[in-house]
Amino acid sequence: MGLSLVILAAGMGSRYGGLKQLDQMGPSGETVMDYSVFDAMRAGFDRVVFVIRKDFEDEFKRVIAQRYAGKINMEFAFQDLNDLPGNFTAPADRVKPWGTGHAVYAARHLLNEPFAVINADDFYGRDSYAQLANYLKNPPAGNKVRGCIAAFQLSNTLSENGSVSRGICSDDGNGHLSKVVENTKIYRREDGQIVSKMDDGSEVPLTGDEPASMNSWGFMPEIVGELEKLFCSFLEKSGKELKSEFYLPFVVDSLINSGKAEISMLHSRDSWFGVTYKEDRPMVQKALQKLVASGAYPEKLF
């Protein structure tokens, strides 16, 4: 079986102010996504599945798809807020799709082989893809839903320009993920303390050493059926809310708690960086230029 890389690229970029997925960051006009595809290819992935929105399909294909033609197999899936299981319907006033879990659900008809999932606007580094590929090529035996996460140190995943959303991971002591809790507003205060702001306004202090989920996952295809079941349960409970989101970490956490999944903890040795805010752009450009200068990447990727 081959290996697929699922790239979640349907985000609206509301905090960024545009389609950051297509913004040129590298020295030869590369997007962050180009580095992900390049690293995945040299790790052994042979297909990429882009999850995008129908309204920017033409622009996305014009800017991105032609770069990879003849180099890696490509598929496209479309995240639409009305693409729901069963008889569920979206509230009339809802604008946004349903989050990262919904984005993977949108590609369900293409996920019949081991696959990794990443964000389009995050740089994960070569080691992350090598570890993900090694797991997916050699998954543990068993009848549970099998998967892995490539985690990063929380303090290395923050933005100087505003809060970020991160899944804080816990290890069961045997190399498996025991819990992932989505924190939607993590930031470093002026006094240097990293905190997670709760819905009630309270702040929970964090050390910065916590393993953080940057939405870099590997899964065997059996997760797809479980994903749909959990999405149905989510819609029954929160489907009438205008801003509720079906997060992929919630899916994993639910499967672990129910005893249905065994998720291996991988710890990437690379540095993560990404684009959440427009102000993050210079930092990302500088980081990529430094990596190219070091010889880690060629001057021009494709």
Q: Pairing between strand 194-197 and 203-206?
A: antiparallel
Angle, CA 43 vertex, CA 249 and CA 301 arms, to 5°:
105
pLDDT at position 59 is 85
d(C-alpha 45, C-alpha 129), whole Å: 9
Q: How confident is the model at residue 291 (pLDDT cuts 50, 70, 90)?
A: very high
- pLDDT tens for 237-258 read 999 999 999 999 899 999 999 9
Rounded CA separation 296/130 (Å): 14
Secondary structure (3-state) at 193: coil
pLDDT in tens, 269-283: 888 888 877 888 899
Q: What whole-number percentage of the chain has pLDDT above 90?
A: 74
Rounded to the nearest 10 degrees, the angle between the axes of helix 248-257 and helix 223-238 is 100
Residue 37 and residue 46: Cα distance in Å, rounded? Answer: 10
Per-residue confidence band for 144, with pLDDT thresholds at 50, 70 and 90 = very high
Model confidence band, residue 19 (pLDDT cutoffs 50, 70, 90) = low
pLDDT given for residue 109 in this prediction: 96
The mean pLDDT of 104-114, rounded to a whole number, is 97
The confidence band for 16, taking pLDDT boundaries of 50, 70 and 90, is: very low
Rg of the chain over CA atoms, in angstroms?
A: 18
Here the tokens at position 163 are 């809060």
Per-residue pLDDT averaged across 141-168, rounded? 90
Chain segment 190-239, per-residue pLDDT in tens: 999 999 999 899 999 999 999 998 999 999 999 999 999 999 999 999 99
Written as six digits, the tokens of 262 are 């065994």
Paired tokens of 34: 């180009």
d(CA 247, CA 231): 10
* Tens-place pLDDT, residues 35-70: 999 999 999 999 999 999 998 898 888 888 788 989
pLDDT of residue 141 exceeding 80, the answer is yes
What stretch of H or E contains 18? none
Tell me the C-alpha to C-alpha distance, in Å, between residue 156 and each of 38, 164, 268, 302.
Answer: 23, 12, 12, 28
Model pTM above 0.75: yes
CA distances from 245 to 81, 168, 207, 249 (A): 11, 17, 27, 11
Alpha-carbon gap, residue 59 to 75, rounded angstroms = 16
Distance of CA 191 to the CA centre of its chain: 30
Decide if pLDDT at 18 tops 70.
Answer: no
pLDDT at residue 121 greater than cutoff 80: yes
- What is the structure's pLDDT at 10? 87
Strand partners, 110: none
Using a pLDDT cut of 70, give the percent of the chain over it: 97
Provide the β-strand partners of residue 25. none
pLDDT recorded at residue 20: 66
pLDDT of 160 strictly over 90: no
Residue with tokens 């249905």: 260
